A = this chain, B = another copy of it.
């Protein structure tokens, strides 16, 4: 019906499409519906032909698990909630929203407990914001590890969040002058506990009950999570249960034995919270089928926990020369940002790479520069430039 035999792509260099020309040599329309289709539905589902899915850690890990978002399939900057990456330390609890409460205690004048309905009466605020697990790309510390972009970079996702400003809620409780930290505790079986600097908590941190237009998904913390924009994902505590104002960090398991960065001299850096500038080319990328010769738009995602992406450069020769890619709007702070560059694959082997710069001037480093600064003992915060090698046969590989 639609075999390649009756279609050809020719190069003509025509404007934006940069030479993509489709010629039908035997145009035959697809079959059209001849009987009424399905009726309206109360809550829709994706098409039965769609199979994009998260990549899961092996089942033997049980409740301490992660799933990687299929980043190369993602269109636009909003990750579908069903495909948002996951990282759980005690599995996904089942919390009935009517039984939920949030306790704010510690160094406050008025310890208060809020139901979900109480919190929803505060002024609502919305923010499109990415999250990235600090363990994203951990395989790459030891050299090329992930077999595709889902494995190398799939621990980041971007959603439209709705909730209330934590500062408004804390104001109701009366934060004492000696408070310096906010200790957030999840209601999951792991009681995941993280310390948030109070200045950040009062700046742009949110209590979030909405994701992509509806209630937060169970695996994202239903019914309430913290959202600490730009900081490593695990600090945006899910299934939020208690907030304690404190004069010091709590030094929990998840900020001492885990989520610290082991340096070459054997010391560990703690509280390296902001996520650095990063980008990856999602198309072409490994595992997407061989490239066809001709026009191939290079497409990808860039992000930074420190603010807006201001520039993405793309190289097709492994980093010797760079060209500015086009950024697609809206370009929002601490958000996935789309970039693209018109390109033609001429069948010659090459190495593709992208480099992100953010509004603070933070530039995504080469692997050599990152390793020179931090060694290879680390597990977290790998943000080096990613290289994809394209072979003559159009296959793409992580190198």
Interface residues of A (CB under 8 A from B): 1-2, 7, 9, 14-18, 20-24, 27-50, 52-54, 56-57, 59, 62-63, 65-67, 73-84, 86, 88, 90-101, 103, 105, 110-115, 118, 121-126, 128, 160-162, 165, 168, 171-172, 187-189, 191, 209-210, 212-219, 222-223, 239, 241-242, 295-297, 299, 328, 330, 332, 338, 340, 342
B40 A57 Cβ-Cβ under 8 A:
yes
Which B residues are CB-close (under 8 A) to A77? 126, 160, 213
With both beta carbons as reference points, the residue of chain B lying nearest to A84 in the complex is identified as B44
Cross-chain contact B123 with A16 (CB below 8 angstroms): yes
**Contact flag A112-B24 (CB < 8 Å), given A29-B103, A340-B123:** yes
Determine how close the nearest CB of chain B comes to the CB of A153; give it in whole angstroms.
16
Is there contact, CB below 8 Å, between A126 and B161? no
Among A74, A125, A172, A297, residue most surrounded by chain B Cβ atoms (within 10 Å): A172
Partner of A17, one of B88, B99, B172: B172
**In the complex, what residues of B have CB within 8 A of residue A209's CB?**
75
A14 with B171, Cβ < 8 A, contacts A75-B214, A112-B27, A242-B29 known:
yes
- Establish whether residues A121 and B24, one from each chain, have CB atoms under 8 Å apart when the complex forms: no
How far apart sit A246 and B45, CA to CA, in the bound complex (Å)? 36
Q: Are B20 and A122 in contact (CB under 8 A)?
A: yes
Q: Which residues of B contact A296 (CB under 8 A)?
A: 121
A63 touches B37 (CB 8 A): yes
Q: Which of B28, B79, B95 contacts A213 (CB 8 A)?
A: B79
Additional 14 contacts, C-beta under 8 A, given A17-B122, A46-B218? A17-B171, A33-B239, A36-B63, A39-B62, A39-B63, A42-B56, A45-B218, A50-B214, A74-B213, A75-B215, A77-B213, A124-B297, A124-B340, A330-B332
**Contact residues in B for A187 (Cβ distance below 8 Å):** 30, 32-33
Q: Cα distance A33–B242 when bound, in Å? A: 13
Known: A53-B43, A296-B121. A162 touches B76 (CB 8 A): yes
A37 and B88 in contact (CB under 8 A), knowing A122-B17, A340-B123? yes
A-B contact pairs, 23 of them (CB 8 A): A15-B168, A15-B171, A22-B118, A30-B241, A37-B88, A37-B92, A39-B65, A40-B88, A41-B54, A44-B81, A44-B84, A45-B82, A46-B81, A46-B215, A49-B96, A75-B210, A75-B213, A76-B162, A80-B81, A121-B295, A124-B299, A330-B330, A330-B332
Q: How far is the CA of A68 from the CA of B2 in the complex (A)?
A: 37
Closest to A40 in B: B67
Cβ-defined contact, B35 with A78, below 8 A: no
Q: How far is the CA of A367 from the CA of B215 in the complex (A)?
A: 34
Q: Which residues of B contact A188 (CB under 8 A)?
A: 33, 37
Provided the pairs A103-B27, A212-B80 are in contact, do residues A241 and B92 lie with their beta carbons within 8 angstroms? no
